[in-house]
Homo-oligomer: A and B are copies of this chain.
Amino acid sequence: MSARYHSKLRIPEAPFRPRENPDYSFLHLPSPEDVAKPDCMADADTIRQLAFSMVRVLDDDQNAKGAWDPQLPVSELLEGLRIMTLTRLYDDRLFRMQRQGKLSFYVKCTGEEAIAVAQAMALRSGDMLFPTYRQQGLLLARGRELVDMMCNCISNSRDNQKGRQLPSLYSWKEGNFFSVSGNLATQFSQAVGWAMASAYKGEDHIASAWVGEGSSAEADVYHALLFASAYQAPVLLNLVNNQWAISTPQTVACGGTTFAVRGLGFNLPSIRVDGNDLLAVYAVTRWAAERARLGGGPTFIELFTYRAEGHSTSDDPDAYRPKDEWHSWPLGDPVARLKTHLIQRQQWSDEKQEELEYTLTEELTEAWGEAESYGSLQDGPHWPLSSMFDDVFKEMPAHLRRQRHQMEM
């Protein structure tokens, strides 16, 4: 073996690796009352502190506190709980179906349900969503049929994407849910263009985009921040910091500070929020949406959460992080937290939750059965084979017609 250099390189490390004891007490978590809520049209440079701090509403005991409490009616909280629960059960079901070979692949959002659900609730239906593969909650909150989502995942004859996309890469035009790309982060800067067009047309719709903290390293995020800032586009730029990017800890992507701070470099209001607190996420999203609609431009939001399960069905997280690290996560489980909150307010009970889960499970079973009746990935029926050549262009040019013909021979 040859000589070795005496390297002085700094290597960003994971806080904890397998067989270590995760202890997140080093995280500074302000209490809900510590964080002031500025007017939604406040000058960005007067509210920089929000990027270093963290907006919370539910305190450690799951009581709603502080200036950011959105004071949502109980009915809406219950609806939020319902959709979060549905999201979790939906994920569990499809994950199991993948394990049974019915799906080629699947991505859960377990532990992060509050983000998509609360943000969908805080936005209007005319607002355009530019999600990643981990915001299935947006679809469920916007009322996408379970059957349709499932058909999309098993590429059958009723798949609205004609069998072309991997599971989890949904598209739903009528729901203003943009086609999810397999290429990370590209949607982030596209959302800004969409929002610019909305402003150009004089409309009130805003755009909302999501990106993972790992993917935030891609150029598209920089361009999104820059273009959004330059043209003050009505767009919410949401960075979901779930601590992990496959096996890579957020320390590799973050630069030793919060992600939210990155928005300050573009003079954007930049807010870090407890992503496991439906109320806090709702409040921040509402604030930012109102700002955008009033002409105040974009907001950059870091949603602080934890990816409770593996990256996808393709990996085993125990190989790169402590087993059950999630249970040491100081911001807990968003579903459990909202449930506790509602129980404490005497608006809910463990029994009711069980009942809810039972009903939703039934719905899922029924939907899955129906979905499979339209075909399976392995055996079909799928879309007609010749549809493979559709949509490359609006009208099929001669060379594709020739190839289609050749295939059919």
Q: Give the interface of A toward B (CB within 8 A).
A: 5-12, 44-45, 196, 199-202, 217, 219, 221-223, 225-226, 229-233, 251-253, 255-257, 261-268, 295, 297
Expressed in whole angstroms, the Cα–Cα distance for A8 and B200 within the complex equals: 6
Task: Report chain B residues within 8 Å CB of A262.
Answer: 265-266
* A265–B267 CB distance below 8 A: no
Among A9, A261, A262, A295, the most chain B Cβ lie within 10 Å of the Cβ of A9
Please determine whether B263 and A267 come into contact, CB atoms closer than 8 angstroms. no
Contact B265 A264 (CB under 8 A): yes
CB <8 Å contact, A8 and B199: yes
Does B5 contact A200, Cβ atoms closer than 8 Å?
Answer: yes
- Contacting residues, chain B, for A10 (C-beta < 8 A): 199, 231-232, 297
Chain B residues within 8 Å of A252, by CB? 230
Bound form: Cα–Cα A6–B198 in Å? 11
Residues of chain B with a CB closer than 8 A to A261's CB: 264-265, 267
Which B residue sits closest to A4, measured CB to CB? B202
Q: Taking chain A's interface residues, is the majority helix, strand, or loop, or is none over half, making it mixed?
A: helix
A231: chain B residues within 8 A (beta carbon):
9-12
A261 CB → nearest B CB, Å: 5
Most buried by B among A7, A8, A12, A255: A255
Tell me how far the C-beta of A215 lies from the nearest C-beta in chain B, rounded to whole angstroms: 12
9 of the cross-chain contacts (CB-CB < 8 Å) are A7-B200, A8-B199, A10-B232, A11-B231, A12-B230, A230-B253, A257-B267, A261-B265, A265-B265
Complex contact A9–B226 (CB within 8 A): no
CB-defined contacts of A295 to chain B, threshold 8 Å: 8
CB neighbours (8 Å) of A251 from chain B are: 230
Question: Which B residue sits closest to A251, measured CB to CB?
Answer: B230
Q: Is A223 a contact of B229 with CB atoms below 8 Å?
A: no
* In the complex, chain B residues whose CB is within 8 Å of the CB of A257: 45, 264-267
Assess the B265–A202 pair: CB atoms within 8 A: no
Q: Specify which chain B residues have a CB less than 8 angstroms from the CB of A11 in the assembled complex.
A: 231
Look across to chain B and name the residue whose beta carbon is closest to the beta carbon of A45: B257
Minimum C-beta distance from A406 to chain B (A): 32
| Given A255-B266, A265-B257: A202 and B5 interface contact (C-beta under 8 Å) | yes
How many Å lie between the Cα of A231 and that of B13 in the bound state? 10
A28 to B217 alpha-carbon distance, docked (Å): 33
- A355 to nearest B CB, angstroms? 47
Task: Among B8, B196, B264, B297, point to the contact of A202 (Cβ < 8 A).
Answer: B8
Chain B residues with CB under 8 Å of A221's CB are: 222
Question: Are the CB atoms of B196 and A9 closer together than 8 Å?
Answer: yes
